[in-house]
Chains A and B, each alone.
Chain A
Amino acid sequence: MPRERAAEFTIDHVQVLDESGEADEDLVPNLSEEELLDLYRNMKRARRFDTRAIALQRRGEIGTIAPAIGQEAVQVASATALSEADWMVPSFRESAAYLTRGIDPHLLLWYAMGMEEGAEVPEGEHTMPPSIAVGAQTLHGAGLGWGQAITDDDAASLVFFGDGASSEGDAYEAFNMAGVFDAHTVFLCQNNRYAISVPTENQTRAETIAQKAIAGGIDGIQVDGNDVLGTYKVVTEALEQARQGNPILVEALTYRQSMHTTADDPSVYRTPEEEAEWEERDPIDRYEDYLRSEGVLDDETVAEIEEDVETELEAAIERAREGEKEVVPAEMFDHVFDELPQSLRKQRDEFRREEVDHD
């Protein structure tokens, strides 16, 4: 036969909790009531954090931020699936994932206030600082996963990136090299439908982002990213597989309900109808319906959670404001090298002198 099929591929799509909050009982992950409530609590914390942060930005208290409103399910689920030993490699929209991983919210505010202090990684913590350069971090995640393979580490690395990022050359190199080196890497694409103003259809002619894995010889799977249980299940299994040296690309279909960043105006490139349609599929509402129907959540618990969230946030904002007053400008010289070269010491001294002169 002159022409025969050389290879064939398919991409699976997973959903556990449907849009009306109805779960497929066979697929529901095995979680305790407390764990189920934690997923809910973290989504609420993240939503409230971003809403407040937008307001703080509008008042000029913090700088540009990229809110994750609408993407809480995918971020909270995947950060919950991580063990402490696993690495988290964020992009720039991961407020929900950070909060779920236990980072103090005032640090996120500091970062948004333009303070490097907010990105400081505490010793021993397996979380990378945010990557503002789109897609670059996919390679860091592949490298961390390779390191885990080399050292026989029973842990994995999870990289967040967007549908836009999947167009960068770095992402293709990452999928391919992770495959070559049996990296313990899960590539988690949050396909939130837009890269700033450009919808996924104009970003790529590929039908799914997940299939971009195929060319790298690694697995690809799609999940409903507004379904917190489905995403938790898929990412948990993906991490398990990655720990065995089989990297995987998970595409979570979701929607960025808010603006790209606080400097963006989405009304230029999308319709209120489309936005309303996705609000209907809101990840928190859907999960809340489910928890109520399971008898895990009632009005009283919701009120309690909301109050806790508010208290935590108020304290964080206070702490952020206090910290801002203590910014030391000369610190910009301190972390460039292990040891400051002579020329840079000289620049720092000059800087300090000028600071004194001008005060």
Chain B
Amino acid sequence: MTEQLNMLEAIRSTLRAEMERDDGVIVYGQDVGRNGGVFRATQGLIDDYPGQIYDAPVAESGIVGMGVGLAAHGLTPVPEIQFSGFMHQAFAQIQQHAARLRSRSRGTMNCPMTIRAPSGGGIRALEHHSESFEAGYAHTPGLQIAYPSSPADAKGLLAASIRNPDPVIFLEPTRLYRAVSGEVPEEEHLVPFGEANVVEEGEDITVVAWGAMRRETQRAANNADADVELIDPRTIVPLDEETILDSVRKTGRCVVVHEAPKTAGMAAEITARINDEALMYLEAPVERVTGYDVPFPLYAREEDYLPDPERIRSGIERAVEY
């Protein structure tokens, strides 16, 4: 059985199911209780699980750092950081402690924390509310990163994150929260980490995109003069390299799309892996269609910053016509 849900509803119902399944799952963060979160992802949950959901003071380092302690105590913390732009306030706790608890304790301890945060631009928000820093977390050994692009994946990846014995950065594309609805399995649904979704099959070119960029890429693919194979990795770490490489070996061409800045972004990493493993299959250099190396602009210029179907289509055509 499936039901029609948008991404926020899928996240909410998954949090509910996971709290129901395991009373050690502790959901907390700024405004997540009475207010139900600024995007309403946790709306109503406090009434049913008062001992498992808490409003936290405005203190990101405190929120993540306390999560390390909760995890050490055997609980499963699922903190929400109100916007991923404010995860930097907690970065020391994430990088120095959550990500390394396992290695520092020589494998005797772990940190099964899922840090949820809205990510990415396109909603005319204030400064620091539109960042996408997945490459920074990918550069931090010990972290796994999920970045869903559909309601069903949001459910499957979130449930898998909460049950993951390692810390997960769970980035939710703000722009898609309410913009897309889709069929979501009603029963338990787990999307394993490290398994990309081949969204569309095609022969001419491989395009890799995640989060809100998947939808933009689909729009671009519909108008492009090429048969596009669209791959959504779903988890940035671990990355399903094999699916991407197999596709590139078939098509010989690749575009990687992300809204984060270009320099040292995930597209650079994916390009490098293609160079390592599939160079001889390439018919054209791997194209990157990304944000620019500028601070994410306030919203009067955000549309100019963000890759849109036009830019993505140009990228596809450059690679095809090379």
Contact = CB atoms under 8 A, between A and B. Distances in A.
Interface in A58-111: 63-64, 92, 111
Interface in A126-154: 130, 132-136
Interface in A262-307: 263-264, 268-269
Interface string B172-203: 00000000000000000000000000000000
Interface residues of A, number: 46
Nearest to B43: A268
A344 interface: yes
Interface in B72-96: 85-86, 89
B97 interface: no
B59 interface: yes
Interface string A1-39: 000000000000000000000000000000000000000
Interface in B281-322: 292-295, 297-302, 304-305, 310-311, 314
Interface stretch (B33-41, B149-157, B226-234, B242-250): B33-41
B30 interface: yes
A63 B122 CA distance: 13
B58 A203 contact: yes
Contacts of B311: 354
Contacts of B293: 336, 343-344, 347
B128 A114 contact: no
Contacts of A114: 124, 297-302
A168 B58 contact: yes
A195 B305 contact: no
Interface in A333-359: 333, 336, 343-344, 347, 351, 354-355, 357-358
Interface stretch (A242-250, A311-319, A323-331): A323-331
Contacts of B51: none
Interface residues of B, number: 40
Contact of B301 (A135, A197, A327, A344): A327
A170 B62 CA distance: 11
B263 interface: yes
B57 interface: yes
A113 interface: yes
A63 B59 contact: no
Given A169-B62, A196-B31, A196-B38, A358 B302 contact: no
A237 interface: no
B55 A329 contact: no
A1 to B, nearest CB: 37
B125 interface: yes
B127 interface: yes
A336 B294 CA distance: 6
Nearest to A115: B300
B298 A115 contact: yes
Contacts of B89: 133, 136, 168-170
Nearest to B311: A354
Given A133-B128, A169-B62, A354-B311, A332 B304 contact: yes
B262 interface: yes
B126 interface: yes
Given A133-B89, A332-B305, A344-B293, A263 B38 contact: yes
Contacts of A268: 34-36
B85 to A, nearest CB: 8
Nearest to B85: A133
Given A114-B302, A358-B310, A64 B59 contact: no
What are the nearest 8 A-B pairs in CB distance?
A: A114-B299, A197-B35, A167-B57, A329-B304, A114-B300, A164-B58, A114-B298, A132-B127
14 contacts: A64-B125, A111-B298, A135-B58, A167-B57, A167-B59, A167-B62, A168-B60, A168-B89, A169-B59, A197-B55, A198-B55, A336-B293, A344-B292, A351-B304
Given A114-B298, A135-B58, 18 more contacts: A64-B125, A92-B126, A114-B124, A115-B298, A132-B126, A169-B59, A169-B62, A197-B35, A198-B31, A202-B55, A203-B57, A327-B301, A332-B292, A332-B305, A343-B263, A347-B292, A347-B293, A351-B292
